[in-house]
Amino acid sequence: MSPLSILLIVLAAAGIWAIVELALTLRKARTTLDEVSHSATEAIDQATPVIAKLDGVVDELQPALREVTPLVEKIEDTLDEANTGLGKVNNILGDVSSATHGVSSVGESASRIIDTATSAAVGVVSKVASFGGITIPEGQQLIGKGTPEEQESEAQDGADKAEEQPARKGGYVTYAPVTPEGDEE
């Protein structure tokens, strides 16, 4: 046997082996394709009812979706009206605040006028009393002089003096009233 015939036999064996391998690979590929095709068919069969249900749901939602747009517009209108109303309320509250401040200022002015008139009247009464020979001791006027703070201070000073010394009325000595808080047993 010549080397050429041995080489031809080896090449023929390799060719047969390659054809067998190719046939086995094609057979495995066909089996895999059949399995994939079968799995895809099953998946499509299972997905078909789900898709049909989703189509039905979408069909049922269409009328509701058509009503959502007018509803959103109504909500926007309502919010705009509420904002306008709140703006009006804010303006009203500002006017009320201004009016309250004005009334407060008028009240303070009236209080000052009344204090001034009262002080003037007390001054006139004191002058008339002094012309008649009547002396009104300091702190004993019907209404005090000056501002309310000064009157309160004078009244407190007079109360402190009255507690320290007994008051004399018509020749009798009168003492300041004693409260239960002041008694110690």
What's the pLDDT score for residue 123?
A: 77
112/148 Cα distance (integer angstroms): 10
Say yes or no to pLDDT of 66 above 50: yes
What's the pLDDT score for residue 144?
A: 47
Task: Identify whether the C-beta of residue 175 lies closer than 8 Å to the C-beta of residue 166.
Answer: yes
Task: Identify whether the C-beta of residue 138 lies closer than 8 Å to the C-beta of residue 162.
Answer: no
60/52 Cα distance (integer angstroms): 12
**Secondary structure of residue 60 in the 3-state scheme:** helix
Give Cβ neighbours of residue 129 (< 8 Å, ≥ 6 apart).
135, 136
Q: Could you report how far apart the first and last alpha carbons of the chain are, in Å?
A: 151
List pLDDT tens digits, range 69-122: 888 888 899 999 988 988 888 888 888 777 777 777 777 888 888 888 888 877
What's the pLDDT score for residue 59?
A: 85
Quote the pTM value.
0.31
